[in-house]
């Protein structure tokens, strides 16, 4: 595929040792695609993403609000572009709370099977390309969770499976089971950014690379902190003020955090990038990273983010400065 915007081409990379190629940037339908958002704007963003080569759309059963709304709205858009289904990579997840009662969350075979059936119905699809277990479940044997995911592949409801929010040890345990079952387990989805380097410290970053697994990361802009937009007063219409579930105004106004972001913004400026572009470039510069999930509240943001692909290389001096700012002594 050779889709481009102003000469900037989307890049695709194999997901670990599998034959599946994923775009450097995927569109996450986490925050802005529920029923609180304007549907026509959502459709514009999805269309624009696809035009730019951002052909992977990442969802979960409970994305909204309300739960399920993002998949429902995406399904409405899919009706208009169903002829392009085979050019698209559609992923969804289950693991967090979705419906009341004992079978509405976590990782039992009953929940994972019922949830995917519901997701496919909402999106008007007969299968997804990757189905993720969204979080580890301490109450369900991992063998049961893995067997449920394997059975969904064999039923033709998903082509590949993945895990999300699993640490190195949990991923390793799942990999051993999937290998025994012969399941196409291809990817771990984890949080990773300049301000959240946990997967480096815990060894997950190097682990997936060594084991031939893909790694798709999310929250590369730390809920907007790394754009620099909170260095001044926090806008009254920002997600921090209107939502606050994932980033509070107190976090955005933290003096120490603001100093870090300000210093990172100066490095971005010296590279000829916006702060957001540098943050994306830095995540993508890691060999183990297959791709990054980005959000968007407008179609214009996608074009700006795409420019991050022009420069994903960092000098030793730049990395030293970044590490000094972001790694605690």
pLDDT tens, position by position, 142-161: 999 999 999 999 999 999 99
Higher-pLDDT residue of 2, 317: 317
Query: What is the pLDDT at residue 179?
Result: 98
| Token couple for 189 | 């989805």
Sequence-separated contacts (24+) of 34-43 with Cβ below 8 Å: 34/63, 34/64, 34/65, 34/66, 34/69, 34/70, 34/73, 35/64, 35/65, 35/66, 35/69, 35/73, 36/65, 39/73, 39/76, 41/297, 41/298, 42/73, 42/77, 43/76, 43/77, 43/80
Enumerate domains of the chain plus CATH numbers: 11-222+285-309 (3.20.20.100)
Looking at every residue in the chain, the average pLDDT score rounds to 93
pTM score of the predicted model: 0.94
251 φ, ψ (degrees, to nearest 5): -65, -45
The H or E element that residue 91 is part of is strand 89-94
Query: What is the pLDDT at residue 1?
Result: 36
pLDDT tens, position by position, 287-328: 999 999 999 999 999 999 999 999 999 999 999 999 999 997
pLDDT tens, position by position, 172-195: 999 999 999 999 999 999 999 999
Count other Cβ atoms within 10 Å, centred on residue 259.
12
For the segment 224-244, the average pLDDT, to the nearest whole number, is 72
Cα 290 to Cα 246: distance, rounded to the nearest angstrom: 24
Residue 239, pLDDT > 80, answer no
């Amino acid at each position: 595929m050779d889709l481009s915007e102003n000469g900037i081409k989307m890049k695709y990379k194999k997901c670990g040792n599998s034959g599946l190629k994923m775009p450097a940037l995927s569109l996450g339908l986490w925050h802005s695609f529920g029923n609180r958002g304007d549907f026509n704007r959502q459709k514009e963003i999805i269309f624009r993403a696809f035009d730019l080569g951002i052909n992977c759309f990442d969802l979960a059963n409970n994305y909204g609000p309300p739960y399920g709304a993002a998949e429902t709205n995406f399904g409405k858009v899919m009706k208009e572009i169903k002829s392009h289904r085979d050019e698209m990579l559609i992923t969804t997840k289950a693991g967090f709370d979705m419906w009341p009662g004992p079978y509405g969350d976590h990782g039992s075979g009953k929940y994972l099977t019922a949830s995917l059936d519901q997701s496919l119905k909402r999106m008007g699809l007969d299968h997804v390309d990757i189905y993720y277990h969204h979080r580890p479940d301490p109450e369900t044997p991992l063998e049961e969770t893995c067997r449920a995911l394997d059975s969904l592949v064999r039923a033709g409801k998903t082509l590949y499976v993945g895990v999300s929010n699993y640490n190195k040890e949990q991923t390793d345990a799942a990999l051993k089971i999937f290998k025994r079952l012969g399941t196409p387990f291809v990817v771990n989805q984890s949080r990773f950014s300049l301000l959240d380097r946990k997967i480096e410290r815990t060894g997950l970053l190097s682990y997936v690379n060594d084991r031939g697994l893909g790694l798709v990361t999310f929250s590369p802009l730390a809920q907007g902190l790394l754009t620099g937009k909170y260095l001044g007063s926090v806008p009254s219409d920002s997600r921090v003020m209107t939502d606050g579930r994932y980033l509070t105004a107190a976090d955005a106004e933290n003096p120490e955090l603001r100093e870090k972001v300000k210093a990172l913004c100066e490095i971005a400026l010296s590279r000829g990038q916006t702060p957001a572009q540098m943050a994306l470039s830095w995540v993508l510069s890691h060999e183990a990273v297959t791709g990054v999930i980005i959000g968007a509240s407008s179609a214009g943001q996608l074009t700006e983010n795409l420019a991050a692909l022009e420069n994903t290389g960092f000098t030793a001096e730049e990395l030293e400065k970044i590490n000094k700012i972001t790694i605690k002594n």
